[in-house]
């Protein structure tokens, strides 16, 4: 019976963890373009936005965060990555925009993680006193598993972004090496043909 309760707690934990990471997005930002996102938020809520440019150009982008009344809460230009945390002082729709308008030909791939409010507690504090003695060890285990799963998710996100950057860099190097090899082959071919023509001219009778 205890094993079934433990398994049920793990299932609920996994569902809650999956629902808590719904604020991540990776999108394409073309050159000379500006992309905006909107989020309705209540007053007095702690929010965090973290972004990173994965591919394109010098891996930089302009970012601006605006409150419902038009106040600019955060603004920076040509940032590769950054994180900003604030507490809302008014209710309304908050707007955050990423701009690549300064670039004329470089497309960018941007990742951001937007978290609104604190995560719901794993343990039900209202009913905790009723089963505090019987569930202490199980609750402690579930809590530690939850914290470790959050770390695993953060590591996965970090390594996924690093892998994407490394893959794009490797493909770019491979393309440069290919073009360089083709150029070298053409140069060698031209030099070889030129040498043959020069040698033939030495043995040609001139009238």
Domain boundaries 2-162, CATH class? mainly beta
Phi, psi torsion values for 46, nearest 5 degrees: -80, 130
Q: CB under 8 Å to 105, separation ≥6 — which residues?
A: 31
Residue 181 has pLDDT above 90, yes or no: yes
* Predicted TM-score of the model (pTM): 0.61
The strands making up 92-99's β-sheet, listed across from edge to edge, are 34-41, 92-99, 61-66, 72-79
Tell me which of 15-29, 164-178, 186-200 is least confident.
15-29
Predicted confidence (pLDDT) per residue in 87-113, tens digit:
999 999 999 999 998 888 888 889 998
Predicted confidence (pLDDT) per residue in 125-167, tens digit:
555 454 455 567 777 777 788 778 877 877 787 777 778 777 7
pLDDT confidence of residue 21: 36
pLDDT confidence of residue 4: 34
Measured in whole angstroms, how far is the alpha carbon of residue 14 from the centre of its chain? 22
Report the range out of 2-16, 53-67, 142-156 with the highest average pLDDT. 53-67
């Amino acid at each position: 019976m205890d094993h079934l309760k433990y398994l049920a707690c793990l299932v609920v934990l996994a569902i809650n963890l999956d629902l808590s990471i719904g604020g991540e997005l990776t999108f394409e930002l073309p050159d000379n373009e500006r992309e905006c996102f909107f989020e309705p938020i209540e007053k007095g809520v702690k929010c965090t936005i973290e972004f990173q440019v994965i591919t394109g150009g010098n891996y930089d982008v302009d970012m601006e965060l605006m409150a419902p009344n038009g106040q600019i809460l955060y603004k920076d230009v040509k940032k590769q990555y950054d994180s900003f945390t604030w507490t809302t002082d008014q209710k309304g729709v908050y707007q955050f925009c990423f701009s690549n308008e300064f670039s004329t030909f470089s497309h960018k791939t941007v990742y951001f993680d937007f978290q609104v409010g604190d995560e719901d507690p794993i343990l039900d504090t209202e009913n905790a006193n009723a089963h505090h003695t019987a569930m202490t060890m199980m609750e402690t285990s579930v809590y530690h598993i939850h914290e470790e799963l959050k770390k695993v998710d953060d590591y996965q996100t970090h390594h996924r972004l690093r892998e994407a950057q490394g893959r794009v860099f490797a493909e770019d190097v491979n393309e440069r090496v290919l073009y360089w090899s083709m150029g070298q082959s053409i140069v060698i071919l031209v030099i070889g043909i030129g040498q043959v023509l020069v040698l033939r001219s030495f043995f040609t009778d001139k009238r």
